[in-house]
Structure 1
Amino acid sequence: MSLIATLTCLSLMGGETLTGLDVLEAQGFAPFAGKRIGLITNQTGIDREGRRNVDMMLAAGVRVTALFSPEHGLAGVEDREGIGNAIDTATKLPVYSLYGETRRPSAESLKGLDALVFDIQDVGVRFYTYETTMAFAMESAAKAGIPFIVLDRPNPVTGTRVEGPPLDASNVSFVGYLPGCPVRHGLTMGELAGLFNGEKKLGANLTVVRMQNWKRGDWFDNTNLPWVNPSPNMRSLKAEILYPGICLVEFARNLSVGRGTDSPFEQVGAEWVNGRQLAAYLNGRGLTGLRFYPTRFTPTESRGAGKPLQGIRIEIVDRERVKSVRLGIELACALQKLYPGKIDWAPGKLLIGHNETLRRIAAGDDPEAIEKSYASALAEFADDVRLIERVFGRLPVDIEVMHLEDGNEAVAFSEAWEPLEEFFDLVLLDSRVPGATGLEVLQALRRSDPMSRVPIVLLVGAAGEDFSDVAMGHGADACIIKPLVPEMFMDKVDRIVHTWLELDPR
């Protein structure tokens, strides 16, 4: 088999967003029939009507026999270490804590289960611990030989933004599971599960129950799903947007990020900060989509509790232009420049995750230079061509990948084509390929007689919805939305190729 690889597109459905839970609920939880289910969940595990997953499963006759809770507990109100096991008062089911004596399901707690199900709303950030809880549970399920099922939910801050320094292997911890993963990864929990399983070779028997009608460019408030605070201090979509940056400096023990106030992650302050000075400096940096103003606040708990602090309040004026992690790096550099010696940067290695970025912040480097220093690593994480080659390389068949660098080369190739003994079996075409446009390449390929029958899959970003409709009208067979995720990408391509081979079995 041969293949042209350039880059990828999207498929859209109408209607309201349905989570994996909603999709299963509509099926009467048929895949769980006759199985003993362990459910990893918390207060976010609700359907579109606000009903708890465990209650709906039990009502449908599913044999849920055990619950497992992440950080903050089953109800999501605990903000402390060492959460113990408990009993769910409504169902009388045992609740095994994954944020207490152990952070992994024990062999004893998994005994007798036929499947382990994960249903928790994430915030789309590397150091949010629900992601590592899922990864640890996948490891335990694989070891026990139990299928692992993820009921997918939206990335609330969109699935189109990949941002921030990658995690160094030396800094892997409970707040960072996968080396190379940037702070803001643009993936859903189901997609992360596939990435973890493939990159870490976990060997989990993984199934992801996909959402319906979710677009990668959607923010959480585009989904019409009910909001539930995913953790005690994550109280709004605004906080979720700012969190990837603000949390980068939360390791500093003498700095408050607003915990213990009415606006966590929306303000930052300390006894040694001059609010007017810091606000003026950051406003002068020209950060897109953001404005800053001086403020004073007194936290009731956490860092700075009971002390009057000066600092800044952050306002989002255009969320589409906000670069959350760049905000965090700008803030860190501003604090180092204006108040040198006030922060010990060494403990920041786990949250920032990237030793070179941490070193540059402490050295007073320019934020733009810092961002450029990890640009290549970030590009590698999001590089579609490398992912395509990696995915096809895992298949037990002989596959040749031909990569054409730009649209002009692809057009020239199609015009020079002569019927050969071997045809291409699939073309992957980036809608934003350099040179000739993606649409021009598509039209040229369809004009070529041998290529007129080959399936062409378009790869486009979330902003290309209109383009995908046009492309389908000009002969594209399918669209896949970026960023690409190995398991989802392979599933889509596999279905396209098999359908085509049934029509043209050469």
Structure 2
Amino acid sequence: MTTRRGVLRGIAVTGAAAPFASLAAAPAEAKKAGGVQTGFDVLHASGYQQLKDQKVGMVANPTAVVRDLTHEVDVMHGSGAVDLVAVFGPEHGFRGSAQAGGSEGSYKDPRTGIPVYDAYAKSVQAIADDFTKAGIDTVVFDIQDAGARFYTYIWTMYDCMQAAVLAGKRFVVLDRPNPLGGTEATGPVMHPEYTSGVGKQAISEQHGMTVGELALLFDKEFLGGKVKPQVVKMRGWRRGVFFDETGLPWVMPSPNMPTLDTAIVYPGLGLFEALTISEGRGTTRPFEIIGAPFLDWHYADALNALNLPGVRFREMYFVPTFNKWANQNCAGVQVTVTDRRRFDPIRTAIAMIVTAKKLYPKDFAWRESAPPYWIDKLTGSDLVRKGVDGGSTTDQIVASWQGELARFRAQRARYLLYR
């Protein structure tokens, strides 16, 4: 942290934010261009009326930006219209410098002078204590989600919602698009006995919701309606619109989510984190590159022979710079989505795992952790692991979660804000 703070001090030109005069026109320009206005755009256009006379604490990371790529914390701090007194950082940190499973700790932001509290991997009570210590009245959440249950930002929101109740604080969500279009929920549903930091409640692996919609579902279904979150809705977004069709700038939500292409495959290919096969961390295309020293060219041929919809597999060789198989030659595939509206990332990943088990039975292995297996935490139950180990086909494994998925889809439908 010492090095990072020094770097930020070096780039901070002044203790006060610039006026950001161009922002005032951003919502009007977005409407004229047919683009999407985020919850923050709508909040700003109202003159921050929803935050009037409130001491505000913001849960944010680098994705909370306006169209000119200025961070919203800097915009609000410089506006004089918002009494922004604290910031709370999720996994990877408020300014986004930490790798997977890490955070930046607590410190004073050198650009704004606002205290930053670490909200990652803390207990709900500890977060509530920080809310009280910071002296805030309202918690504002604005982080770009990636659309997968095991992407941790939605669970930081869930914890902060509970903490807001304990500390007696108001909770506001500035909504952002589901980058994958949010047309439907797919994949297995979390079982209570397998909950962890990558899945705390019974939602499907690809949830198909915005963070605002999830906040409403979390409150009513899991938190007894005690939070009553206020969602500042987007304007101009509809289901089926991918992020690159919104007119909004893409900012990496985390160090290993560099592009929308990554996000599109992540709800399925993220499962390779649970195998001894590399998911491409330590390469320039994480989650799109899959491989290990014990794979070979047969893997790409076998996958392409499956004729999976919307995807092709390129035989590939690579050397990860960190994480699994660091500095070792790996063989495998690059996953190329050819039709993202037909592509099913979860079914594709299951087919890839089933094929790897079939072709390389002696080397194939699950990455073990303290019970349960990591794959069980990611998928939400032991259905996938037992199906693969038992020799089930891809279709049989996918069929095993259809009943629970249908129940979640019916539940989810009650909280959709966009059609």
Provide the TM-score with structure 2 as the length reference: 0.86
Aligned to 1:39: 58
Q: Does residue 27 of structure 1 match 2:46?
A: yes
Tell me the distance in 1 between the aligned counterparts of 2:101 and 2:199: 18
Aligned to 2:183: 160
Aligned to 1:174: 197
**1:65 aligns to what SS in structure 2?**
strand
Q: Does residue 238 of structure 1 match 2:261?
A: yes
CA contact (8 A) 1:122 1:189 kept: yes
Aligned to 2:152: 129
Tell me the distance in 1 between the aligned counterparts of 2:285 and 2:102: 26
Which of 333, 348, 353 aligns to 2:354? It is: 333
Aligned to 2:164: 141
CA contact (8 A) 1:105 1:137 kept: no
Aligned to 2:115: 94
Which of 201, 206, 216 aligns to 1:194? It is: 216
CA contact (8 A) 1:98 1:133 kept: yes
Query: C-alpha displacement at 1:255, in angstroms?
Result: 1.6
Structure 1 residues 157 and 82, CA gap change in structure 2 (3 angstroms): closer
Aligned to 1:65: 85
Which letter does structure 2 place at the counterpart of 1:106?
Answer: I
Query: C-alpha displacement at 1:47, in angstroms?
Result: 1.5
Which letter does structure 2 place at the counterpart of 1:173?
Answer: S
CA offsets 1:309-368 (integer angstroms, 9 cap, x no match): 001111111111000110111111111111114213633110121222221012121001
Which of 405, 415, 418 aligns to 1:486? It is: 415
Tell me the distance in 1 between the aligned counterparts of 2:201 and 2:356: 29
CA contact (8 A) 1:103 1:133 kept: no
Aligned to 1:208: 231
Aligned to 2:387: 360
Tell me the distance in 2 between the aligned counterparts of 1:367 and 1:183: 16
**1:18 aligns to what SS in structure 2?**
coil
Tell me the distance in 1 between the aligned counterparts of 2:169 and 2:287: 38
CA contact (8 A) 1:168 1:355 kept: no
Tell me the distance in 2 between the aligned counterparts of 1:117 and 1:344: 39
- Between structure 1 and structure 2, the one with the greater Rg is 1
Aligned residues: 377
Which letter does structure 2 place at the counterpart of 1:381?
Answer: F
CA offsets 1:274-324 (integer angstroms, 9 cap, x no match): 1x1111111111110000121000011111111010011111111110001
CA contact (8 A) 2:149 2:207 kept: yes
Which letter does structure 2 place at the counterpart of 1:66?
Answer: A
Tell me the distance in 1 between the aligned counterparts of 2:260 and 2:229: 30
Which letter does structure 1 place at the counterpart of 2:331?
Answer: Q
Q: Which stretch of the first structure deviates more once superposed, 187-196 or 362-371?
A: 362-371
Tell me the distance in 2 between the aligned counterparts of 1:82 and 1:299: 20
Aligned to 1:76: 96
**1:321 aligns to what SS in structure 2?**
coil
Tell me the distance in 2 between the aligned counterparts of 1:178 and 1:116: 22
Query: C-alpha displacement at 1:484, in angstroms?
Result: 2.4
Which of 219, 232, 252 aligns to 2:242? It is: 219
Q: Which stretch of the first structure deviates more once superposed, 355-364 or 326-335?
A: 355-364
Q: How do 1:78-477 residues align onto structure 2 when only pairs under 5 Å count?
A: 78-83=98-103, 84-99=105-120, 106-111=127-132, 112-179=135-202, 181-202=203-224, 203-252=226-275, 254-274=276-296, 276-341=297-362, 342-344=364-366, 346-383=373-410, 387=411
Query: C-alpha displacement at 1:102, in angstroms?
Result: 5.0
Tell me the distance in 1 between the aligned counterparts of 2:128 and 2:269: 37
Query: C-alpha displacement at 1:56, in angstroms?
Result: 1.8
CA contact (8 A) 1:233 1:264 kept: yes
Tell me the distance in 2 between the aligned counterparts of 1:215 and 1:265: 27
Q: With a CA cutoff of 8 Å and minimum separation of 6, indicate the structure with the bigger relative contact order.
A: 1
CA offsets 1:380-437 (integer angstroms, 9 cap, x no match): 1112xxx4xxxxxxxxxxxxxxxxxxxxxxxxxxxxxxxxxxxxxxxxxxxxxxxxxx
Which letter does structure 2 place at the counterpart of 1:136?
Answer: D
Which of 6, 12, 17 aligns to 2:36? It is: 17
Tell me the distance in 1 between the aligned counterparts of 2:129 and 2:37: 34
Aligned to 1:464: none
Tell me the distance in 2 between the aligned counterparts of 1:205 and 1:163: 27
Structure 1 gap ranges (5+): 1-12, 388-482, 493-506
Query: C-alpha displacement at 1:144, in angstroms?
Result: 1.3
Which letter does structure 1 place at the counterpart of 2:65?
Answer: I
Query: C-alpha displacement at 1:487, in angstroms?
Result: 7.2
Tell me the distance in 1 between the aligned counterparts of 2:374 and 2:233: 38
CA contact (8 A) 2:43 2:49 kept: yes
CA offsets 1:432-484 (integer angstroms, 9 cap, x no match): xxxxxxxxxxxxxxxxxxxxxxxxxxxxxxxxxxxxxxxxxxxxxxxxxxx62
CA contact (8 A) 1:29 1:57 kept: no
CA contact (8 A) 2:47 2:81 kept: no
Q: Which stretch of the first structure deviates more once superposed, 74-83 or 208-217?
A: 74-83
CA contact (8 A) 2:272 2:278 kept: no
Query: C-alpha displacement at 1:71, in angstroms?
Result: 0.3
Structure 1 residues 330 and 487, CA gap change in structure 2 (3 angstroms): closer
Structure 1 residues 339 and 76, CA gap change in structure 2 (3 angstroms): same
Query: C-alpha displacement at 1:377, in angstroms?
Result: 1.3
Which letter does structure 1 place at the counterpart of 2:279?
Answer: V
CA contact (8 A) 2:127 2:160 kept: no
CA contact (8 A) 2:384 2:397 kept: yes
Aligned to 2:26: none
Query: C-alpha displacement at 1:193, in angstroms?
Result: 0.5
Structure 1 residues 233 and 82, CA gap change in structure 2 (3 angstroms): closer
**1:234 aligns to what SS in structure 2?**
coil
Q: Which stretch of the first structure deviates more once superposed, 286-295 or 201-210?
A: 201-210
Identity, % of aligned positions? 37
Aligned to 2:21: none
Q: Does residue 53 of structure 1 match 2:72?
A: yes
Query: C-alpha displacement at 1:77, in angstroms?
Result: 2.3
Query: C-alpha displacement at 1:236, in angstroms?
Result: 0.8
CA contact (8 A) 1:82 1:100 kept: no
Query: C-alpha displacement at 1:105, in angstroms?
Result: 5.1
